[in-house]
Amino acid sequence: MSKKALIAIGGNSLIRAGQRGTIEEQYENAFSTALSISKMLKNGWEIIVTHGNGPQSGAALIRSERASNEVYTHPLDMCVATTQSEIGYILQRAFNDAFIQENIKSEVMTLLTMVVVDENDIAFKNPTKPIGPFYTRKVAMDKKKNLGWQVVEDAARGWRRVVPSPEPKEILGVDLIGKIIDMGILTIALGGGGIPVIKKENGSIIGSEAVIDKDRSSALLATVMKVDMFVISTDADKVYLNYKKENQQGLELVTLSEIKEYYNQGHFPPGNMGPKIEAVIRFVEQSHNKAIITTFEYLPDAIIGKAGTTIIPDNMKKNFN
């Protein structure tokens, strides 16, 4: 039987530190990521790719805001939908070219994905997810007054808009994703954490002014799809304790109990590795399969335990001794 993996690629797979984020730069970065993932296809893996969209959504919001006197504006759910298509197009081109280079006979498809959130989620009363560019205090306060934004100060960098980040409750179209995967097609889905929607009692769907955490929704999709492995590709080669301190220590193979203990000790900040650790804990707990955190350059080695951080259920440790 084929092995199934969900790979959640982060921002560095499209826009790296110091880059402006042009379409050309995004394509080149996506191509490098696609090459790494293509090696897994050669080894018999069926793959679902999810991705972040932070910089792209920020750019979409700026375009919408600055052109508001001439064209209609985009709410957040529409920004997510737009960037799902934009990034999906870039990734599809990258995978197509990677398949040609690696002589792989396969296809790739992007699926717009909606995710149901609870309209009574406490996150709507306490927005915490920063989006868009940094502003001076004066500009931020003007937008708060005139546009009704919630804004917060980001130490030393300025002020930013914050929006609700509710829990993903249900991923719509899961059966369709399964059918596409079963056809041997690499599937790009759940971009930017999914388009946030609210489902009414009569089954109708409306957009929600929110942003869903990409790693949380990816963990949910990985669990529902019963994948054998959940991979988070980020900008760190592995997970570290005491990150960027003199006693920094990289983790290679850890059990679920061990990573939960490190998490409770405060090693993984909320704005950095914290959400990724939360996501892999959820997946490993519910699926009893392994998860990996690494950067895309090390992905082929991480799959065979030679790079990255692998998190396994406690009862699986005996198989690695």
pLDDT tens digit at each of 321 positions of the chain: 579 999 999 866 788 777 888 999 999 999 999 999 999 999 899 999 999 988 888 888 888 878 888 988 888 999 999 999 999 999 999 999 999 999 999 999 999 999 999 999 999 999 988 887 788 999 999 989 887 889 998 767 789 888 999 999 999 999 999 999 999 999 999 999 999 999 999 999 999 999 999 999 999 999 999 999 999 999 889 999 998 888 999 999 999 999 999 999 999 988 779 999 999 999 999 999 999 999 989 999 999 999 999 999 998 877 765
Asked if the structure places residue 12 within a domain, the reply is yes
Asked if the structure places residue 139 within a domain, the reply is no
Whose CA is closest to 65, among 49, 76, 51, 81? 76
User: Is 244 an active-site residue?
Assistant: no
d(CA 208, CA 148): 16
What is the structure's pLDDT at 116?
Answer: 98
Tokens describing residue 8: 């959640």
d(CA 130, CA 161): 6
Neighbours of 236 (CB within 10 A): 20
Active-site annotation holder among 4, 143, 276, 290: 276
pTM (2 d.p.)? 0.92
In DSSP terms, 151 is beta-bridged to 161
Asked if the structure places residue 142 within a domain, the reply is no
User: Is 169 an active-site residue?
Assistant: no
Active-site annotation holder among 4, 129, 143, 290: 129
One DSSP character per residue, 262-308 reads HHHTT-S-TTTTHHHHHHHHHHHHHH--EEEEE-GGGHHHHHTTSSS
What is the structure's pLDDT at 262?
Answer: 97
Asked if the structure places residue 284 within a domain, the reply is yes
Q: What is the pLDDT of residues 109-119, one digit of tens each?
A: 999 999 999 99
User: Is 214 an active-site residue?
Assistant: yes
What is the CATH number for 290? 3.40.1160.10
Asked if the structure places residue 91 within a domain, the reply is yes
For tokens 């994948």, the residue is 227
Sign of the torsion formed by the C-alpha atoms of 97, 99, 100 and 102: positive
Tally the domains of the chain. 1
Whose CA is closest to 298, among 218, 230, 234? 234
What is the structure's pLDDT at 1?
Answer: 59
Asked if the structure places residue 220 within a domain, the reply is yes
Active-site annotation holder among 4, 10, 12, 88: 12
Asked if the structure places residue 129 within a domain, the reply is no
Active-site annotation holder among 4, 10, 11, 29: 11
User: Is 129 an active-site residue?
Assistant: yes
Whose CA is closest to 218, among 246, 264, 254, 187? 187
Asked if the structure places residue 202 within a domain, the reply is yes
Active-site annotation holder among 4, 143, 214, 238: 214
User: Is 11 an active-site residue?
Assistant: yes
Tokens describing residue 97: 């070219």
What is the structure's pLDDT at 321?
Answer: 58
Q: What is the residue range of 73's domain?
A: 3-112+174-320
